[in-house]
Amino acid sequence: MRTLSNPLDTTMRVSLVALASLLLSTSALHAGTRANAPAGENLYCLPGDVPNFGDHDGPAALPRSCYYTDSSATPSPGHTILVLSGGNVTNVLANTAACGDIVQLAAGGVFGPFTVPAKNCDANHYITIRTSAPDLSLPPEGTQITPCYSGVASLQGRPAYSCPVLAAATAQILFSNSSITTYAISFSPGASYYRFIGLEITRPAGGSYKTLVSLNGASHVIFDRVWIHGTALDTTYYGMSLDASNYAAVIDSYFTDFHCLTSSTTCKDSSAITGGSATAPEGAWKLANNFLEASMESFATGESGATVTPADLEIRHNYFFKPTFWMPGDPAYNGLGFYVRNVVEMKNSVRILFEGNVSQNSWGYHQDQQGAAYFLTPRNHITGGLPDCPICIVTDVVIRFNRASRVPQAFSLTIPPNTQRGYAYAANTFSIHDDLFDDLNYQGCDQCSVTYTNQIFSGTNQNLPPPSAVLHDITLSHVTQVASGTPTGFLQLGGMTAAYPPQQSNIDINNSIFIAGIHGLTNSGQPASNCANVSSGAPLAMFNACWVPYSFLNNVVVGGGSLPFKNLQWPASTFLPAKTDVIGFVNFNGGAGGDYHLSLSSPYKNAGTDGLDIGANIDLVNSFTQGVTTGTWN
């Protein structure tokens, strides 16, 4: 072992976290879901980066490429180089390390920003950059790291995490330059075959910082068990940018404190992880078993202009979270104004799998959006007054076996124009099924009182866009949505009109449970020519005007037959119970944390068009989300 820089004493700890189970058995009810498959980050990826997703889930194509991230596939058989606290990591990587080496950064030490060079490495010679703490001092592979391993026993307002021995096993990378054009870790173009393990990546208090880690065109890069975070009171835009990267993965990691103060004149968006705003090919991204926290979006693509679209995104088994002390009205509100928006926001990406994720807490603050769990909305952004992303698309998206709690809105599926009436290219081919949303319209939620729990529209008050800009081929089936309060309504639709064909086509919403709320359905606003602005206001008339062809079969809409909806016509097979009690959940529990299996006496048991229970398959949701909130795969 070669040792560089200054000596440092540090305390090591032995992890007492049990190894996560590697097996999960489940019933495959939909194409693309493999029965009795092993759990873990490589469920759909075989050694050699061989994809095993299947071809399609419903109408949507599944990812066609993947990144196999097991440590056995990233060997570093060369020398071990120890860099002590304060050492120049950039110089070590550029001038000392060779492909296949392990660069150890002293556990408990502090290191300045560094650049990762391109060294023409290959799949048999990864450079591993990691803490010097032994593997037994970190969570085992496949288990999420927490701030405990950086000596932090708990974080205010976040879920409690296990901390059996408090010690600094990580090495800290401190971004000491507040210029928004530099990073804590940056990559030279062409840098490839790197794995990072057991690092804390952060910034000092005070001022605004933009992006802590930028992959900048790198490929075959894995961040494994790292804690990346901003500071509690300051503006930090992004934890990591995946722009222009290929075969990039973030696994078993923890992201906190990414937010924009409303007093900021430049920061209007923040994300734990972002991408999709590049001019070079990008894709084959994996986000698995992470805690992802940001005030705007935990994960977002296409937040600015682009000339390419990232493809093949695997977003699985992540815990998306916002602490409620950021929210005005919360008893613990910190008094700071942070821009708050959605949980996941996709503006430019194709072939995306969201599976087994848990979302908790969202609302809308200082924004024109309401805190959707899944916001799929390609946007043609504007830079310098000119549209700069006419190629932006969001297509072939699969959202299955997820659960979300305490969000105002489940889905927003939209393709509106920008302020100059310019459209992104396409939003279509979504397969959404077996997802559970509860505690909608939760007490104290900011913006819940003005939010429809679902949106499907293509924009309003526009000239005829190209046909590709119209929503089409959306399948939503076996979804359960329940509320602890009374939502504004369950669906806002419209945009395209009979006067401006084509209408939205192949919209299929079946076998699901919704809450009608106060207004049930509404149009997406603006002129009388909006397809949903029909005079009767009846759901059937609105569907007929906006969707051709479509199906709305065997859905339960609680309260849809009561005032003010009484005598309004719904599709013939719609079930309209007056109260949620009629559904026959095993334990409704006020719509918050209940057991949403249908009891044997439920009138909706086996009543779907496919002979299955109406609503989500709760067993599958529970199986795929098991262990998410504890950072394990079991």
Query: How high is the pLDDT of residue 11?
Result: 25
Mean pLDDT across 316-342: 93
Amino acid symbol at 619: D
Q: Is the pLDDT of residue 19 over 50?
A: no
206 burial type by CB count under 10 A (0-12 exposed, 13-18 middle, 19+ buried): exposed
Of the candidate ranges 280-294, 360-374, 428-442, the one whose mean pLDDT is the lowest: 360-374
E strands, 441-593, are 454-457, 472-483, 491-494, 505-510, 513-515, 521-523, 550-553, 556-558, 585-587
Query: How high is the pLDDT of residue 628?
Result: 97
Q: Answer yes or no: is 207 within a domain.
A: yes
Higher pLDDT, 242 or 534: 242
Instruction: Decide: 167 and 194 in contact? Cβ < 8 Å.
Output: no
Q: Answer yes or no: is 624 within a domain.
A: no
Q: Answer yes or no: is 198 within a domain.
A: yes
Token code pair at residue 228 = 């990346």
Q: Is the pLDDT of residue 478 over 50?
A: yes
Percent of the chain at pLDDT > 90 equals 71
Query: How high is the pLDDT of residue 15?
Result: 27
Token code pair at residue 582 = 């009629």
Instruction: Decide: 530 and 503 in contact? Cβ < 8 Å.
Output: no
Mean pLDDT across 561-571: 85
pTM score above 0.75: yes
User: pLDDT band for position 84 (50/70/90)?
Assistant: very high
User: pLDDT band for position 37 (50/70/90)?
Assistant: very low
DSSP state of 583: G
Q: Answer yes or no: is 85 within a domain.
A: yes
Q: Is the pLDDT of residue 537 over 60?
A: yes
Which of 69-83, 164-178, 377-391 is the most confident on average? 69-83
Instruction: Decide: 491 and 555 in contact? Cβ < 8 Å.
Output: no
Q: Answer yes or no: is 618 within a domain.
A: no
Sign, CA dihedral 146-151-152-153, equals positive
Query: How high is the pLDDT of residue 526?
Result: 63
262 CB-near residues (< 8 Å, 6+ apart): 337, 338, 339, 365, 366
360 burial type by CB count under 10 A (0-12 exposed, 13-18 middle, 19+ buried): buried
Query: How high is the pLDDT of residue 497?
Result: 59
Of the candidate ranges 47-51, 395-399, 497-501, 611-615, the one whose mean pLDDT is the lowest: 497-501
Q: Answer yes or no: is 312 within a domain.
A: yes
Mean pLDDT across 379-402: 87
Q: Is the pLDDT of residue 536 over 60?
A: yes
Q: Which domain holds residue 227?
A: 1-10+44-340
| pLDDT tens digits, 245-280 | 999 999 999 999 999 988 877 887 899 999 999 999
User: pLDDT band for position 439 (50/70/90)?
Assistant: very high
User: pLDDT band for position 527 (50/70/90)?
Assistant: low
| pLDDT tens digits, 141-197 | 999 999 999 999 999 999 999 888 788 999 999 998 755 568 999 999 999 999 999
User: pLDDT band for position 31 (50/70/90)?
Assistant: very low
d(CA 513, CA 370): 21
Of the candidate ranges 45-59, 400-414, 511-525, the one whose mean pLDDT is the lowest: 511-525
Query: How high is the pLDDT of residue 24?
Result: 29
86 CB-near residues (< 8 Å, 6+ apart): 5, 6, 109, 110, 111, 112
123 CB-near residues (< 8 Å, 6+ apart): 73, 74, 193, 220
Query: How high is the pLDDT of residue 179?
Result: 59
Query: How high is the pLDDT of residue 18?
Result: 25
Query: How high is the pLDDT of residue 8?
Result: 29
Mean pLDDT across 55-73: 98
End-to-end CA distance of the chain: 37
Residue 37: how many CB atoms within 10 A of its CB?
15
Look at residue 95 and give its three-state secondary structure: helix
Instruction: Decide: 252 and 224 in contact? Cβ < 8 Å.
Output: yes
Q: Answer yes or no: is 475 within a domain.
A: no
Residue 479 backbone dihedrals phi, psi, to 5 degrees: -110, 140
Helix (H) or strand (E) holding 621: helix 618-625
Query: How high is the pLDDT of residue 461?
Result: 41
Q: Is the pLDDT of residue 558 over 60?
A: yes
- Pairing outcome for strands 595-598 and 585-587: antiparallel
Mean pLDDT computed over every residue of the chain: 88
User: pLDDT band for position 420 (50/70/90)?
Assistant: confident
d(CA 168, CA 250): 21
Q: Answer yes or no: is 261 within a domain.
A: yes
Q: Is the pLDDT of residue 29 over 80?
A: no
Q: Is the pLDDT of residue 26 over 60?
A: no
Higher pLDDT, 513 or 339: 513
Give me the number of domains the chain comprises: 1
Q: Is the pLDDT of residue 113 over 80?
A: yes
User: pLDDT band for position 498 (50/70/90)?
Assistant: low
Q: Is the pLDDT of residue 9 over 50?
A: no
Mean pLDDT across 18-40: 36
Which of 2-16, 243-257, 300-314 is the most confident on average? 243-257
Instruction: Decide: 216 and 244 in contact? Cβ < 8 Å.
Output: yes
- Pairing outcome for strands 585-587 and 297-301: unpaired
